[in-house]
Structure 1
Amino acid sequence: MNFTALLPRRIAQLLGTLALAGALAGCASSPSVQGTRLDSTPRIAVISAFAPELTVLLPQVQQPVKHSINGVEFTTGTLQGKPVVVFLSGISMTNAAMNTQLVLDRFHVSHIVFSGIAGGVNPGLHIGDVTVPARWGQYLEWLMAREDQPGKYTAPGWMQAELTLPAYGMMHPRPVEVRSAANPKITQKFWFEADPRMLAVANGLATVPLEHCHASHCLKERPRMVVGGNGVSGQAFVDNKAFREYAFKTFEANVLDMETAATAMVAHSNGVPYIAFRSLSDLAGGGDGANEMDTFMHLAAANSAKVLQAFLAAWK
């Protein structure tokens, strides 16, 4: 075969090589591959775990611009006059940690605010109340201890020094290992503190009117806002009276959920201030009948969103 016959094939090969190089170059410059920031405006990250919580907030965002990263939709704009980036973390500790880090990597985030529903643990609180804990811990970071004798459990000797909290049967709560830009050495930590300045602003929001009826369902107690105390997060949906009592007694927790402490840990590692507003949709198994979440979820989400918006309006 002569050169003239080979020419079309050579051209096709060359064009294919150039097309591949162009595709690779396009990927290299794509924000989704490089992880470059999509927005340079300092913003407050507003996070909710699932759709009913965010449905209340998204229509209030002014000048919304949507960005999709790894299938997560981030909406930038302003809320109560403050620049924000609003998104769903997804339910669970893993989703919360992963997508909190994602928003920090891709946007210029100055503060983090979590808004949503949760299960009440403190028997002095009621459905519809909005809690703003001063610190959050990962209470389901467990050791499953060895049963040496029926009903008697023993932890490995090398681990016993870190087991400072009471166990629930064979299950012993443990601190998590953490490091940060400020302290790169691995340390153990159970509680992750909310930002004191943000808590101080939240303390001034006691007069925010909270909903006490949704559809045909009204609460027996008028909801109120409680700032301070503890919140705990873990991988389980809790609807068990005995375990609820254990969580209150052991961690002195007002509330439990499945995301906030994971976001708090990521905020700590990145040196970003955070706060969380969680309204009680149910009593985590402490109610008289069936779990109340499905009945009061929308009311609780609305109350949390009301407090969040009042917080943003008051934030300087």
Structure 2
Amino acid sequence: MLGIIGAMKEEVELLLEGLEGEERLDYPGVTLHRGRLDGLDVLVTVGGIGKVNAAMTTTYLLTAGATQVVFTGVAGGVHPELKVGDIVVSSDCLQHDVDVTALGYKLGEIPGENLSWPADEGLQALALEAAHEVEGVNVTGGRVVSGDVFVASPEKVAWLWQTFGAACAEMEGAAVAQVCARHGVPFVVIRSVSDTADGGAEVDYRDFMPLVARHAKQVVRGMTRRLAHAQAELQAQAEATGE
């Protein structure tokens, strides 16, 4: 079952509109919507903003039976070549606001954890393939960095690029990645660039949110179609061999 998370309602409402056979699963502070998209069993939810909310919601998804997770939504572009509307598919995720360097750890490294968490290669490939179907945008794979801060200054953007080689910055993806990695569950983060994470971030973000939400929906639906097709093929092969 595919778990799909967006931090805000606007990031998943277009997916919820297409959900068939919807059933609500209520947890403290979170509602999971179980149903089917393109014939694929899915759980869709609004996770809330920030790393704590993202980690909590991911745990609920895994408890409810999600065997792979996609986080979708918007982010601030950090890579110098990214523009509003472009799409980033995570190669890995890192928490940029973690600093235990005083104890000898690398910047961003949580003691006892990896510095970053790599996305599942299969989900990453599916997401990149689906993203290339969105017209008029550039698509790139790259590092997604997360922190409990809305980045809105050129200085911070430059620091994230120079320090971590970040493609984009947001507030949830690395927490989702950390929980999934701990449970051995494949994940990928898909972010549409809603602003360039600089001094004009607040204005750009509000203006372009509807556009990038549509882009996120297109990519996720592209993935569900492909996953459903692959699932049907495996079932047909099993039936043909009598397994």
TM over 0.5: yes
Identity %: 30
Which structure would you say has the larger Rg? 1
| Partner amino acid, structure 2, of 1:262 | A
- Contact kept, 8 Å, 2:87 with 2:131, in 1: the verdict is no
- Please give the alpha-carbon distance, in whole angstroms, between the structure 2 residues aligned to 1:270 and 1:52: 28
- Structure 1 residue runs of 5 or longer lacking an equivalent are 1-42, 144-154, 164-172, 178-186, 211-221
Instruction: Find out whether 1:111 has 2:71 as its counterpart.
Output: no
Shift of 1:286: 5.9
| Contact persistence 1:130–1:224 (CA under 8 A) | yes
Alignment size in residue pairs:
228
- In structure 2, the residue matched to 1:195 is 120
Q: Please state whether the residue corresponding to 1:204 is helix, strand or coil.
A: helix
Aligned partners of 1:285 and 1:291 also within 8 Å: no
List structure 1 runs of 4+ shifted beyond 4 angstroms. Answer: none
Matched, 1:270 2:204: no
Q: Deviations over 1:89-126 (max 9, x none)?
A: 10000000111112212x11110011101110011010
Structure 2 residue 85 is matched with structure 1 residue 128:
yes
Which of 138, 142, 146 is the aligned partner of 1:233?
146
How many Å separate the matches in 1 of 2:60 and 2:202?
37
Are the counterparts in 2 of residues 284 and 291 from structure 1 also a CA contact under 8 Å?
A: no
Offset at residue 290 of structure 1 (A): 6.0
Q: Which moved more, 1:196-205 or 1:271-280?
A: 196-205
What do the CA deviations read for 1:8-46 (whole angstroms, capped 9, x no partner)? xxxxxxxxxxxxxxxxxxxxxxxxxxxxxxxxxxx1101
SS of the counterpart of 2:206? helix
1:174 partnered with 2:108: yes
Q: Is 1:313 the equivalent of 2:238?
A: no
Question: Quick check: 1:239–1:291 contact (8 Å CA) kept in 2?
Answer: no
Corresponding residue for 1:12?
A: none
Tell me the equivalent position of 2:195. Answer: 282
Distance in 2, matches of 1:52 and 1:111, equals 22
Aligned counterpart, 2:34: 76
1:204 Cα offset (Å): 2.3
Do structure 1's residue 64 and structure 2's residue 22 form an aligned pair? yes
Q: Secondary structure at the match of 1:188?
A: coil
How far the C-alpha of 1:202 sits from its partner, in A, is 2.5
Q: Give how far 1:305 is off.
A: 1.2
Q: CA RMSD in A?
A: 1.6
2:96 maps to which of 120, 139, 149? 139
The aligned counterpart of 1:256 is: 169
Structure 2: segments with no counterpart, 5+ residues: 231-243
* Contact 1:45 1:109 survives alignment (8 Å): yes
TM-superposed deviation, 1:206: 4.8
SS of alignment partner, residue 205 of structure 1: helix
Q: Which residue of 2 aligns with 1:297?
A: 209
Q: Determine if contact 1:244/1:286 at 8 Å carries over to the other structure.
A: no
Query: What amino acid is the match of 1:134?
Result: S
Instruction: Choose between structure 1 and 2: higher helix proportion.
Output: 2
User: Would the alpha carbon gap of residues 209 and 188 (structure 1) be closer, same or farther in structure 2, given more than 3 Å must change?
Assistant: closer
